[in-house]
Amino acid sequence: MNTTLIIGLEVHVQLTTESKMFSSCGTEFGLSPNTQTDPVSLGLPGTLPVMNRKAFELALKTAVALDATISRFTKWDRKNYYYPDLPKNYQISQYDLPFSTGGSVPIPPNKDGTGGGEVRLTRVHLEEDTGKLTHGAGGFSEVDLNRAGIPLLEIVTEPDLRSTADARACLEELRLTLRYLGVSDCEMQEGSLRCDANVNLHIEKDGKTIATPIVEIKNLNSFRSVQLALEYEALRQLKKWEADGLTINDAPKETRGWSDPEGMTKPQRTKETAADYRYFPEPDLVPVVVDDEWLARVKASIGELPAKRRKRFETEYGLSAYDANVLVEQGQDVADYYDAVARSTSEYKIASNWIQQDVLRIAKEQKLVMADFPIRPEVLADLVNRVKSGEINTNSGREVLGKMIDSGGSAADIIASGGYAMVSDKSAIIAAVDAALASNPKAIEDLKGGKKKPDAVKGFLRGQVMKQTGGKADPNIVSELLDAKLAELMG
Ligand code: MN
């Protein structure tokens, strides 16, 4: 029996704007409950919404970047329902004429090279966020309307995803793209990126395909929970079908919530259908007309997106897919930094290693964003060039980099004053080899006796020789001379 997992995602993203979708109220995260409200977000009678043009523009930018078709005429609708986090008793959203349809998100392949491809988008529309309910102790629930009215982009995919890993990869790529676009901070734990997943199974049996009832999973607030919840649901639906045989034709769509602590999905309220929401055009807002000039301006504001940048790093700099991805997925500032380094050196691979192993580590330790990183790209490129030319070895280069950060001095000064220049003088290195062998007779015995792996013993001895030279010897010459000496000793 063959089963296929069918997954579609529905993603809500809070747009980064100074004010709310339909009023001038602020949008800062983390303020005391109900301090960031105004008559519009409280839904007071007699208030009127005014569209936030910046929010619409960020939404346009996102949809254009995702290759969607932009509607030149779009309107607002009321989605009517009662809930304590929705004081107006309706949400302003878009129903039959969303501002964008179609488009796609690229999915990078998994690490083992499987999966990947692209997921089609059904639509992207703009709406307002609701307030937040906290179900606290003592049986009380608290309402915080700070979030009510924040611009919210809803991105709906087609059910194109076929594995939990692809679902996760798609969501990660979407987040990276939104961050490159600068339209949202996409902090899942702060709720600025929220994901629901629709999932069911296609089961092949006796030459027929049987579809299980569709389940919408809510409350997925981390990438890990997206993957775990989908894995759980795939198994649950298979077992349930084996027990009751119910198919998509026998049961309505079910809404279930993911419980992270319990590691399981649980039934929630049954989902309203579109008819229950009594959608009708919002009478207090005019439709939006997107003209050529506006669209052209938005298009021009879109920089190079992650998928394209990975490809360019591979073709322009000859990086492996792995290296290109590490640099790109760190964020636009890191990818920009690498591009800038690569303008001052042609040692692209070494520059990539230095950024991945040293620059990122130091930036993390010192909690620095790249804009504040003390070593400018051209200065790092200069250091890379000095290592490549043999002026210093890689180990010394690391030390020099550390000192450059501590003292702010130039590479040239630190190399000269610290005596870091690489030792390539063969007679000096032969002396170091002899000294290292003389003080480690046991290692030579191990090698002769065959008790230890020759490579391990040689690695140890290479380290001892480097130590004799204060870490400054040319490692290639050390290997060459040490190997020759050992071959002599072994007869
Ligand atoms: Mn929505």
Same domain as 400, residue 290: no
Same domain as 58, residue 148: yes
pLDDT at 312: 97
Could you tell me the distance, in angstroms and rounded to a whole number, from the CA of residue 150 to the centre of ligand 1? 12
Number of neighbours of residue 101 by Cβ within 10 angstroms: 17
CA distance 41 to 370: 37
CA distance 220 to 196: 6
Residue type, 320: S
Select from 6, 384, 19 the least CA-distant residue to 230: 6
Could you tell me the distance, in angstroms and rounded to a whole number, from the CA of residue 156 to the centre of ligand 1? 9
Could you tell me the distance, in angstroms and rounded to a whole number, from the CA of residue 57 to the centre of ligand 1? 18
The 3-class secondary structure across the chain, one letter per residue, is CEEEEEEEEEEEEECCCCECCCCCCECCCCCCCCCCCCCCCCCCCCCCCCCCHHHHHHHHHHHHHCCCEECCEECCEEEECCCCCCCCCEEEECCCCCCEECCEEEECCCCCCCCCEEEEEEEEEEEECCCEEEECHHHCEEEECCCCCCEEEEEEECCCECCHHHHHHHHHHHHHHHHHHCCCCCCHHHCCEEEEEEEEEEEEECCEEEECCCEEEEEECCHHHHHHHHHHHHHHHHHHHHHHCCCCCCCCCEEEEEECCCCEEEECCCCCCHHHHCCEECCCCCCEECCHHHHHHHHHCCCCCHHHHHHHHHHHHCCCHHHHHHHHHCCHHHHHHHHHHHCCCCCHHHHHHHHHHHHHHHHHHCCCCHHHCCCCHHHHHHHHHHHHHCCCCHHHHHHHHHHHHHHCCCHHHHHHHHCCCCECCHHHHHHHHHHHHHCCHHHHHHHHHCCCCHHHHHHHHHHHHHHHCCCCECHHHHHHHHHHHHHHHHC
Could you tell me the distance, in angstroms and rounded to a whole number, from the CA of residue 108 to the centre of ligand 1? 26
Could you tell me the distance, in angstroms and rounded to a whole number, from the CA of residue 406 to the centre of ligand 1? 50
Could you tell me the distance, in angstroms and rounded to a whole number, from the CA of residue 179 to the centre of ligand 1? 20
Same domain as 19, residue 161: yes
CA 141 to chain centre: 33
Could you tell me the distance, in angstroms and rounded to a whole number, from the CA of residue 97 to the centre of ligand 1? 14
The first and second tokens of residue 473, run together, are: 């010897």
CA distance 23 to 1: 55
- Neighbouring C-alpha atoms within 13 Å toward the C-beta of 343: 9
Same domain as 114, residue 51: yes
Could you tell me the distance, in angstroms and rounded to a whole number, from the CA of residue 465 to the centre of ligand 1? 65
Same domain as 104, residue 20: yes
Could you tell me the distance, in angstroms and rounded to a whole number, from the CA of residue 125 to the centre of ligand 1? 8
Could you tell me the distance, in angstroms and rounded to a whole number, from the CA of residue 351 to the centre of ligand 1? 44
Among 418, 445, 463, which residue terminates a domain? Answer: 418
Select from 331, 314, 333, 330 the least CA-distant residue to 322: 314
Among 267, 297, 327, which residue terminates a domain? Answer: 297
Could you tell me the distance, in angstroms and rounded to a whole number, from the CA of residue 258 to the centre of ligand 1? 18
Report helix angle 321-329 to 306-317, nearest 10.
140
CA distance 441 to 364: 42
Same domain as 289, residue 244: yes
Could you tell me the distance, in angstroms and rounded to a whole number, from the CA of residue 131 to the centre of ligand 1? 13
Tokens 């629901």 map to which residue? Answer: 196
Could you tell me the distance, in angstroms and rounded to a whole number, from the CA of residue 8 to the centre of ligand 1? 15
Name the pTM for this structure: 0.86
Same domain as 389, residue 251: no
Cβ contacts of 111 within 8 Å, gap of 6 or more: none
pLDDT at 272: 63
pLDDT at 271: 59
Same domain as 290, residue 379: no
Angle at 445 between CA 444 and CA 449, to 5 degrees: 120
Q: Which long-range contacts (CB under 8 A, 24 or more apart) does 394-401 make?
A: 394/475, 395/466, 395/471, 396/420, 396/422, 396/471, 396/472, 397/354, 398/358, 399/471, 401/354, 401/358, 401/362, 401/375
Same domain as 329, residue 198: no
Per-residue confidence of the chain (491 residues) as pLDDT tens digits? 799 999 999 999 999 999 999 999 999 999 999 999 999 999 999 999 999 999 999 999 999 999 999 999 999 999 999 999 999 999 999 999 999 999 999 998 777 777 778 999 999 999 999 999 998 878 899 999 999 999 999 999 999 999 999 999 999 999 999 999 999 999 999 999 999 999 999 999 999 999 999 999 997 989 999 999 999 999 999 999 999 999 999 988 899 999 999 999 999 876 567 678 999 999 999 999 999 999 999 999 999 999 999 999 999 999 999 899 999 999 999 999 999 999 999 999 999 999 999 999 999 999 998 989 999 999 999 999 998 888 888 888 898 998 888 888 888 888 888 777 788 888 888 888 888 888 888 888 888 887 788 888 888 888 888 888 888 888 888 888 888 888 888 77
Domain housing 316: 304-418
Could you tell me the distance, in angstroms and rounded to a whole number, from the CA of residue 127 to the centre of ligand 1? 7
Could you tell me the distance, in angstroms and rounded to a whole number, from the CA of residue 92 to the centre of ligand 1? 10
Same domain as 319, residue 187: no
Number of domain units in the chain: 3
Tokens 């804009």 map to which residue? Answer: 371
Same domain as 166, residue 244: yes
Report strand pairing: 215-220 vs 254-259: parallel
CATH number, domain containing residue 485? 1.10.10.410
CA distance 268 to 331: 37
Among 418, 434, 469, which residue terminates a domain? Answer: 418
Could you tell me the distance, in angstroms and rounded to a whole number, from the CA of residue 162 to the centre of ligand 1? 24
Could you tell me the distance, in angstroms and rounded to a whole number, from the CA of residue 262 to the centre of ligand 1? 27
Same domain as 256, residue 117: yes
Could you tell me the distance, in angstroms and rounded to a whole number, from the CA of residue 250 to the centre of ligand 1? 27
Report strand pairing: 104-107 vs 117-128: antiparallel
pLDDT at 458: 86
Burial zone of 315 (CB within 10 Å; 0-12 exposed, 13-18 middle, 19+ buried): exposed
Could you tell me the distance, in angstroms and rounded to a whole number, from the CA of residue 480 to the centre of ligand 1? 66
